[in-house]
Amino acid sequence: MAKKSMVNREVKREKLVAQHASKRAALKAVINDQEKPIEERFAATLKLAEMPRNSSAVRLHNRCQLTGRPHAYYRKLKLSRIMLRDLASFGQIPGMVKSSW
């Protein structure tokens, strides 16, 4: 089980990303628009830099929904490899069985 503080930090980041997503997208559109004057683009860059760092989607890290484990994460199932194996061996995931030979 991951530390509660790390899981809570990720939840906080997810909220910030959702809250600031539209404003960040608008500023990035201004910055990337070559038709705009350089002063306006530079001002948008400064406004983007003033925004909270944790509002950037790049800072999010995938974690297991059950344990919070950050490594060996399966995106499709939103689980770590350990929980995937446990749930599969108990028959909790339809169509998946633990391999043995």
Question: pLDDT tens digits, residue range 4-26?
Answer: 999 999 999 999 999 999 999 99
**Tokens 């990035």 belong to residue:** 28
Question: pLDDT tens digits, residue range 50-100?
Answer: 999 999 999 999 999 999 999 999 999 999 999 999 999 888 999 887 777
Query: 3-class DSSP state for residue 57?
Result: helix
**Which residue in 60, 94, 61 sits closest to 80, CA to CA?**
61
**Tokens 């490899």 belong to residue:** 81
Backbone angles phi, psi at 12, to 5 degrees: -60, -40
Helices (H), the chain: 4-32, 38-50, 81-89
